[in-house]
Structure formats: C-alpha cells, structure tokens
A and B are shown apart, each in its own frame.
Chain A
Amino acid sequence: MFEETFVEELATRIGSRVEIATDNNFIEGILSTVTEELVLVIEVSNGYGSSTIMYIAVDAINFVRFPVAA
C-alpha cells in the first residue's frame, strides 16, 4: 500500500494537494515533482491563476500532509 521510502511514497502522490512543513515554513500547494533531494510544489496564491514555484529540500521536510478533499 505504501512505498518503502519517503521519497518513493511522495512520488506516487504527484498532483495531490499538499501541506508541507519545514522547521520554519509551511507551504500549501500542488505536489508537482519529486526527486531524491528536492520536492517541487506549485503554490497557488489566488484564484486568478498566479502561482509560485517552491523548491523544498527533502531533508528539510518535517512532515507532508495530504488533506482530505472538500
């Protein structure tokens, strides 16, 4: 059901809405790309299509939450 490693599991969830916490940041967005060292999240800031691309080091991630779709 779940992959053996953290990165492998994240890779199976590309396209999901995520909340990612690091020591000092909390990022909400769409999980876009996962590599061994980096996670790319597209943070949608408003309803007009503008978005921010955030690169997060895998080693810095405290947790990744996958909220239940409303």
Chain B
Amino acid sequence: MLKTKQRARYNKSMPTWVEKMYCKTSYDDRCDDKRHDGCHDKRHDRCHDKRHDRCDKCPQSEKGHGPCCKEPIQCNALDPTNCHPFNPNIPRTLREVLLSLINEQVQVTTPFGPITGTLLVVKCDYIVIVEASGAQVLVPIDKIELVSEL
C-alpha cells in the first residue's frame, strides 16, 4: 500500500488510462458508469457480486472477515500493483489458481502430504478433490502449500 504522500503524488501524476483501470470509489459506492466502464464490466462487479456478497453470508464475518475476505479489496486500492493487475491472465492468489483448475487432475500438497485427484469445487475456504478411488477429500485452502496440474 502506498503511504499518504506517495498516494497524493501518485494521484497527481496518474495518466487517464491508468485512472480508468481501477475504481477509486468507496467499496459500497458503485462506480460512475461512464468513467469506470472497464471497472464495472470486470473486477468491480466480480468483487461486489461474489466476494462481498459471499462475505455477508460467511458466518465467520462476525469475527471481522471470513476467510474469503482476506484477499485484498482490489476495487479500493490506490496502488495499481495491488489493485488491478496489468496482466489479468496472471493469477494473484492461490484461490485464483485453484479456480482455474476446476475439473482438472491436480495434486495439492499439505504439511501432512499430497492429495491427488480431480478438483471438483473451490469454495470460500476449502476445496473438494475426488480421488481415483471415488473418495471425496475436503482440503482447507489455508493448508495448501503447493498446487500442481497433472
């Protein structure tokens, strides 16, 4: 995150095309459609529709934020490196990697050992893998050290 001085300097020198890449509005305020079309179409909507809504349902949100909320709030960050990646094809979190591997043969490694099978679903804080035997395995995302596609 940028410090206040850096942030001010950054805002002043920020070119228009960068400005359009991310949303400066507060988390609950919707963007101005004309200025932040890109934001609405992609990341801002994703943020509101999935992560934010899901957090409200998450029982652990009482403690602050549920596991699904721990990811950086992309829409609100002033630093574009934390906000909207310039290359959206590069995954930024382990969860994004896992989401891209749904229905693929994967091996995930935990401190106990590896689990191999087909990645069935990625939920708020865990994934489900179906092993060759047909057994379902629930793995908390926090415990995953390594993910590899087979």
**Most chain-B Cβ atoms within 10 A of its Cβ — which of A5, A10, A22, A67?**
A5
Give 30 CB contacts A-B under 8 Å: A2-B121, A4-B57, A4-B68, A4-B123, A5-B58, A5-B60, A5-B66, A5-B124, A5-B126, A6-B123, A6-B138, A9-B126, A10-B138, A21-B110, A21-B113, A26-B112, A36-B59, A61-B140, A62-B111, A62-B112, A62-B139, A63-B112, A63-B115, A63-B138, A63-B140, A64-B138, A65-B131, A65-B136, A66-B138, A67-B135
Count of residues in A whose CB is under 8 Å from the partner chain: 25
Tell whether, in the assembled complex, residue B137 and residue A63 are in contact, meaning their CB atoms are under 8 Å apart.
yes
Q: Complex: how many Å from CA A36 to CA B62? A: 12
- The listed residue (B68, B110, B112, B134) touching A68 by CB distance below 8 A is B134
Tell me which of B59, B137, B143 contacts A66 (CB under 8 A): B137
* B66 proximity list for chain A (CB < 8 A): 5
Shortest B75–chain A CB gap in Å is: 22
Inter-chain CA distance A52–B123, complex, in Å, is: 32
Q: Assuming A5-B125, A36-B60, what are 16 further A-B pairs, CB within 8 angstroms?
A: A2-B121, A2-B128, A4-B124, A5-B66, A5-B123, A24-B112, A62-B111, A63-B139, A63-B140, A64-B139, A65-B131, A65-B137, A66-B136, A66-B137, A66-B138, A67-B133
